[in-house]
Structure 1
């Protein structure tokens, strides 16, 4: 069998190469849960639009993006000689959105692959001392490879619907998919539910990440890396790395709800007022360039209701 493996990021590459698992490797280096994504008519157009966006908003050089991300994905165009594509992705939002894109991408290629399978890893797999693919041993990767599941037509259909919904501007379409599952995508619904909690909430305009930061800092100032470690322990479902948390920290400081000195982060008086509901975060934060997939947060009518765990509109909140 000739395998082609798609790994989500470089963290597990060295151990994967030591594992003896046969096949070529392509690295998915995107972070499609962050920023704007569109359901472009073709993959090249998608990458062109995406490269402009990540440079403008995140300062990622377009040439570096082309070399590190796009050219790596384009290796899949040479995958016609592979008998099986194996996708390696975890349960969290970061991984699941990248997974949706990979499945979408594979369907656009001219090659009809005889088999696509997935190593889909949950929060607590039945593997001793397992802390994710990035820290897995070579033996653990071998075991997971042997347990991979084949991606069937129903899985592809669900992935396609979910990707289109994520690229769209209607969070109700995403919400409708939260309860749907398929054998190869058992963690998708939970990840999509977490995604919706990134919308501003009805109480004070904060989302789940803003709330985490301010709730912890209301207990006292903290070193940024200690705060990040708490985040990773408590909100593993998001799968965010340093880069994304740095972005949130910077935006919250610009909004005036948080401040930093040396390596310490602290909540401001405005942050306390927002946390209590006396003020609304949306009145102070700049959302002009902030997107969640296809949803532009600038003046968005959508909110997340923390009490009912559902998406609502401003009109519904006012009633």
Structure 2
């Protein structure tokens, strides 16, 4: 029997009366096929489609959200000296709306892109500033000041003042997390972590930034103290990510880590930004080309929206990041994509696969043999025409010489 899909929210809010109404509507349809169907059965199906194992658990979740909304200052532990840390500004205003009192800090360096090498602090910041400035066409002096400022503030994590890291499950956030923790000698007494990979009732969870203020308040009691095991794991993961060889990173990506349980899937997704052994495409590139092969010419912004809404298994890119990652496929001497109407802003330009793009996508050509740009995944560099690391179908690194 086909059922009308249960519409989920996008910001995490759930209305219990609306779900009760849907359960009654579903019961009517169930009874058309089974006269003995009960309201409890319909409620269970509604709860299951929203991500709960039972109707009582759905109700308990809604009650918890309602309580958080009615009591925005529900915990005195969030005080003026608490610092909330994030890898972007997306929840800064929402935290204020939810009643949080502490200050907000962020590290906006997109560590999932560009060279990330094991260098002394000043050299590392110079490297990252140059990459960000060039990639996003931003003033180098302005970028360098911001990068220096944000990384200097990270030292405050070692203090005894309360700090909370807000992270989701994707590579952008998890790399921010291990970078923040890797700079510590030990776990501070008052450093806590809120991390989440799904929100009940949200069908396509992209990130914390999409959540309503009361849902952030609901997440607050779920924070956990960072322990020394998490710090040591972060040090290992950060060192592996900065290494020119991805072998150690792959070992960590294929292992579950209780100290940071969302880390391995994010590292595994990031490994897939290495060239695929068959076509030389990163997973992001392959998803974009596949989308165009399936639908035909499409606006740049629509391709990004399609990936985030449906195709990307663990969304981690912002729109400008996606645009930057695809530029080498457009601007190279042997492009895989062409864009038309270049007088328009980039999201409205129409992308079309080139014949070479179709050959690469089908595995008949290997992209790094035609590319004219170097690309990085952490400390691993892929240079055109040179032997390099790739990723096989088992998501294990392989050394490719030709």
- Give the structure-1-normalised TM-score: 0.89
RCO higher in 1 or 2 (8 Å CA, sep ≥ 6)? 1
Counterpart for residue 96 of structure 2: 17
Shift, 1:23, TM fit: 1.7
Whole-Å separation in 2 of the counterparts to 1:127 and 1:74: 38
Counterpart for residue 380 of structure 2: 295
Identify the match of residue 242 of structure 2 among 167, 172, 176: 167
Task: Report the CA distance shift for 1:282/1:88 in structure 2 as closer, same or farther (over 3 A).
Answer: same
Q: Which structure 1 residue ranges, 4+ long, deviate > 6 Å from structure 2?
A: none
SS in 1 for 2:269: helix
Greater CA deviation, 11-20 or 58-67? 58-67
Shift, 1:46, TM fit: 2.2
Counterpart for residue 200 of structure 2: 126
Whole-Å separation in 2 of the counterparts to 1:174 and 1:81: 29
Shift, 1:49, TM fit: 2.8
Is this contact kept in 1: 2:135–2:324, CA < 8 A? no
Structure 2 matches for 1:306-317, cutoff 5 A? 306=393, 308-314=394-400
Shift, 1:67, TM fit: 3.3
Structure 2 matches for 1:1-319, cutoff 5 A? 1=77, 2-41=81-120, 43-77=121-155, 82-105=160-183, 107=184, 113-122=188-197, 124-126=198-200, 132-219=207-294, 220-233=296-309, 234-255=311-332, 256-262=335-341, 263-288=349-374, 290-298=375-383, 299-306=386-393, 308-314=394-400
Shift, 1:270, TM fit: 1.3
Whole-Å separation in 2 of the counterparts to 1:236 and 1:24: 33
How big is the alpha-carbon RMSD for the aligned residues of Structure 1 and Structure 2?
2.3
Q: Spell out, residue by residue over 1:106-129, the C-alpha distance to the aligned partner (whole angstroms, 9 max, x if none).
A: x16xx973221111110x233657
Is this contact kept in 1: 2:192–2:223, CA < 8 A? yes
Unaligned runs of 5+ in 1: none
Whole-Å separation in 2 of the counterparts to 1:70 and 1:277: 43
Which structure: larger Rg? 2
Whole-Å separation in 2 of the counterparts to 1:276 and 1:311: 21
Question: Across the two proteins, how many residue pairs are aligned to each other?
Answer: 309
Q: Spell out, residue by residue over 1:220-274, the C-alpha distance to the aligned partner (whole angstroms, 9 max, x if none).
A: 1111121111111221514101112111222111241111112211111111111
SS in 1 for 2:253: coil
Q: Spell out, residue by residue over 1:262-291, the C-alpha distance to the aligned partner (whole angstroms, 9 max, x if none).
A: 221111111111122222211221233x21
Whole-Å separation in 2 of the counterparts to 1:284 and 1:78: 46
Shift, 1:81, TM fit: 6.3
Task: Report the CA distance shift for 1:10/1:53 in structure 2 as closer, same or farther (over 3 A).
Answer: same
Whole-Å separation in 1 of the counterparts to 2:157 and 2:235: 21
Whole-Å separation in 2 of the counterparts to 1:265 and 1:138: 37
Task: Report the CA distance shift for 1:46/1:266 in structure 2 as closer, same or farther (over 3 A).
Answer: same
- Give the structure-2-normalised TM-score: 0.71
SS in 2 for 1:232: helix
Is this contact kept in 2: 1:27–1:73, CA < 8 A? no
Whole-Å separation in 1 of the counterparts to 2:94 and 2:291: 35
Unaligned runs of 5+ in 2: 1-76, 342-348
SS in 2 for 1:218: helix
Task: Report the CA distance shift for 1:200/1:76 in structure 2 as closer, same or farther (over 3 A).
Answer: closer
Shift, 1:101, TM fit: 0.9
Task: Report the CA distance shift for 1:202/1:28 in structure 2 as closer, same or farther (over 3 A).
Answer: same
Is this contact kept in 1: 2:154–2:180, CA < 8 A? no
